[in-house]
Amino acid sequence: DTGVSQNPRHKITKRGQNVTFRCDPISEHNRLYWYRQTLGQGPEFLTYFQNEAQLEKSRLLSDRFSAERPKGSFSTLEIQRTEQGDSAMYLCASSLRGSDYGYTFGSGTRLTVV
Amino acid sequence: KQEVTQIPAALSVPEGENLVLNCSFTDSAIYNLQWFRQDPGKGLTSLLLIQSSQREQTSGRLNASLDKSSGRSTLYIAASQPGDSATYLCAVDNAGNMLTFGGGTRLMVKP
């Protein structure tokens, strides 16, 4: 297993465009999380899935954001009508519920909205 | 709502020095606490995980302690090296559902 994989690594988009990011978790992990990190800050929780069910969403996740995890495998995070304030690093993590091994993070997707 | 604070925000030390990074949290009912390292523009690498029932964990030159009652954790780095230069993030898991992160400590180890 190669860990948590995120694609693309970098994305530059014009304001108003839609973007989609993908996360492939560690295969045996049943939980998948999305976080957002702006420059100089710690990551902030956006949402998480247990298998295919989205169990919690942060108030940071406006109606322009949507996340899916079909069949409980990979996940996608879509941002519609991007704004400059959406520029950030989007991090994905996975874990095994009830395990003692904590969270494993991917390398992130850096979004720049111009 | 859990709040996590890391002090100092930035630290610069000469190579070879032992150092301590601090993390405090407001809600002591935690599931576990995890320390991460982040290099510029990169993702997070897990360093140490301390379960709520544990007092400390060690890995190589790193030692993390946890005092739940006072809402504090420290990360001790022995004999620091330039390769240790990075941002160190403390994160608390309250209910096994999500991590709450501190703002991080940016460490620079000068040769």
Residue-wise pLDDT tens digits, B58-99:
999 999 999 999 999 999 999 999 999 999 999 999 876 789
Give yes or no for A107 touching B (CB within 8 A).
Answer: yes
Closest to A106 (Cβ–Cβ): which among B6, B43, B46? B43
Q: What gap in Å lies between CA A20 and CA A35, rounded to an integer?
A: 15
Beta bridge partners of A7: A22
- pLDDT at residue A101 in the model: 74
**Burial of A49 from C-beta contacts in 10 A (0-12 / 13-18 / 19+):** buried
Give yes or no for A26 touching B (CB within 8 A).
Answer: no
pLDDT at B109 over 90: yes
How confident is the model over B15-68, as pLDDT tens digits?
A: 999 999 999 999 999 989 999 999 998 999 999 999 999 999 999 999 999 999
- Give me the residues of chain A with pLDDT under 50, please: none
Q: A-chain residues within 8 Å CB-CB of B4?
A: 42
DSSP SS3 for A12: strand
- pLDDT at residue A35 in the model: 97
- pLDDT at residue A19 in the model: 98
- pLDDT at residue A98 in the model: 64
Contact A42 B51 (CB under 8 A): no
Q: What DSSP designation does A89 have?
A: E
Q: What DSSP designation does B26 have?
A: S
What lies within 8 Å, CB to CB, of A56 at 6+ separation is A47, A48, B97, B98
Interface test with B, best of A7, A26, A33, A37 (most B CBs within 10 A): A37
Backbone φ, ψ for residue B80 (5° rounding) = -60, 150
Q: What gap in Å lies between CA A60 and CA B32, rounded to an integer?
A: 24
